[in-house]
Each structure stands twice: as structure tokens, then as C-alpha cells.
Copies of this chain bind each other. A is one copy, B any other.
Amino acid sequence: MRNIPSNRFDDGRGSAVRISDVARHAGVSPSTVSYVLSGKRSISESTTRRVRESIEALGYQPHAGARSLASRRTNVIALVVPLRDDVHVPVAMRFAVSVVTAARTHDHDVLLLTQGEGPDGLRRVAGSAMVDGVIVMDVEADDARVPVLRSLDLPSVLIGVPEDTAGLTCIDLDFAAAGALCVDHLADRGHTDIAFVGQPPSVYQRRTGFAERTLTGFESAAARRGVRATPHPCSPDTADEVAGALLRDRPGLTGLIVHNEPSVGPLLEAFTEHGRTAPDLSTVVIGPAPAGLPKLTSVDLPAEELGGRAVGLLMDKIDGLGEPGTTLLEPGLTDRGSTARRA
């Protein structure tokens, strides 16, 4: 019915300018345009300039599918984000955003996979060549995705550390050191009776790496320093309960290590109501301190750095560089005054 011949703005894509259009416009061959774009061949400055001008003039954007078919590279990475209800969403989101941001600086996009699909999601995106690599978060000691990752020959980086790291590239905060750092900080200030308020029980039950390692670090440091130290799993709903139990059963308590973001508020309120504040009670938090709360001494979780470095490691693997191995970031403790020398 249409008598107007179809033109390059008429095909359903925003712009159907192809590489051959650019080549013609610049008076070069398509491969030259391709090489200007990829930098895989040295091109004279004048040609480069002409090509770039033509790209600009025509608004050329390479077709991602064609590119991936020809080059076996998609410039997309997958990110598996946790969505269990026992993970702290804002922290997960900080990781996700830092991964996306870092990926963009490496000219990659991010495909979002949820944990719901489990190992099958990995098989699917790998098998259909949708992504160049994958970043997996919230890794458990005996994670079902790890064997799949091993069998897939898809470049991958884990944010978190499973039990058996053979052949894997992992990065995480050194949570064991973080737990120990908190104990040492308090023990150095004379505290001998310390409680560790941790993650929800389910997190330990599924043996989530970071939680398990923090607890281990806490316990061995406590043993080393000879302080009384007890672990208390805790979820937001049970924060008041846990606080009540501590207030009732542990009158001598002077140190509190909280490795549970959303419970910090309720916990401290409960203690405050009973007149237990600094310097009578010293508190250290592992993780980002919630907004709206007084500043607390804490071991910060460097989510942005972890996400960025995970992407960097993955890019190296995609390029065939880098060795498998585990990187643990040294924790740092920032004193914000919520801990004090014991009276």
C-alpha cells in the first residue's frame, strides 16, 4: 500500500545505518570501519578521522547481534543477584549498581539473573552465548552453582568464597579478619564480655560464606584474647528478643559486635532504654551504618570496591588474562566513638 520506498529509517530499528553505509560515506571498506572501531589494526590518522566523522554524521551504532555472531563476544556480562528474604537488600543493590557502573566503563552491559533460576540460569545464558562472563553474589560454602560454573567454561567471578575454591576466581572482604578486628578492638579497650549479634539463623544454615567466616574470625579471636564471647543469630523481627535476652542473661556485657544491618536500630534502642549506651556499652558494627542512626564505630563493607574489582577480574578472564585465585580485601575499622575503654 505504501509507494514510498523504504529508507534507512523505516525498518523498525531506530537507525538502520550499517557498517557498509559508513564505509561508503567515508570512502573506505567495511573492514576499515570495523578496525577503526575495534582498534585491532593500525589505521592512518586521516582515515580514522574520516571514519569517525562518518559514524558521527550517520549516527551509526553497530548491531549487537551481528557483532556477537561474528566475533563471539557479546559485551554483556551476567550478574546473579540474591533475592532471598534473609539478605539485606540495600547492600545487594549497592553491589549491583557498582557492578553495572564498572561494567559500563569496560563497555559492557549487565544482564540481571535472579537466584530463582539457580544453576539453570547460568546454563541458559552460557549455552545461548548471551554473555561473555558472569558474576555471582551471595555464595554459600557448598554452592550448587559452583560445580556448574566449573563445567561451563564461562569466565566467572564470585563475590564471596565457597569452601572449595579450586579453579575459581573469588573476591570478598576478609570477613574472618573483620570479625577478629572487632574483637581485638574491644579487647584492647579492656572488654572481656562480648556478644556477637549476627545474621538470621537461615543464613548460617545455608552456610553463606561471609556469615560463616565472620563468625569463625570472631570466635577464634575471642579464644585467642581469652574474652567471654557468644554468638547470637538475629533477624529484624527477633532483634527485640535478642536484646531482651542479652539484657537479662548477660549483666556483665560491655561489648557488642553487630553483623546485622537492619537490626542495629532496634537493638540499640532496646539497650538505650535500659540505660546501656556508650561508654557503658561499646558497639561495633560490621557493614554500612544505617542512615538516621548515630554514627557508630564500624568495619565498613566496601561494596563499591568489591563490585568494581569483581568486574575488573572478570574482564581479565574474558580477555584470557589472570589466574584463578581468591582476593580478600583487608578490613578497616573506623572509630566513630561508639566504643570506649572499659570503666
Contact B128 A63 (CB under 8 A): yes
Contact A12 B153 (CB under 8 A): yes
Question: Does A127 sit at the interface, judged by CB under 8 A?
Answer: yes
Contact A237 B116 (CB under 8 A): no
Question: Does A28 sit at the interface, judged by CB under 8 A?
Answer: no
Q: How far is the CB of A295 from chain B (nearest CB, A)?
A: 12
Chain B residues with CB under 8 Å of A117's CB are 104
Chain B residues with CB under 8 Å of A83's CB are 93, 97
Chain B residues with CB under 8 Å of A266's CB are 292
Taken together, the copies of this chain in the complex come to 2
A90 contact from B74, B76, B89, B265, Cβ within 8 A: B89
A112 contact from B64, B111, B237, B263, Cβ within 8 A: B111
Would you call the interface of chain A mostly helix, strand, loop, or mixed? helix
Question: Does A124 sit at the interface, judged by CB under 8 A?
Answer: yes
Q: How far is the CB of A222 from chain B (nearest CB, A)?
A: 28
Contact B61 A124 (CB under 8 A): yes
Give the interface segment out of A40-48, A65-73, A224-232: A65-73
Most chain B CB inside 10 Å of its own CB: which residue of A65, A116, A128 = A65
Closest to A124 in B: B61
Which A residues contact B (CB, under 8 angstroms)? 12-15, 59, 61-69, 72, 74, 76, 79, 83, 89-90, 92-93, 96-97, 100-101, 104, 109-114, 116-117, 123-130, 152-154, 236-237, 239, 262-263, 265-266, 269, 291-292
**Supplied contacts A64-B74, A100-B114, A101-B116, 16 more A-B pairs, CB within 8 Å:** A61-B127, A63-B69, A65-B65, A65-B66, A65-B69, A65-B74, A76-B111, A83-B97, A92-B93, A93-B93, A96-B112, A109-B112, A110-B111, A112-B112, A236-B291, A269-B269
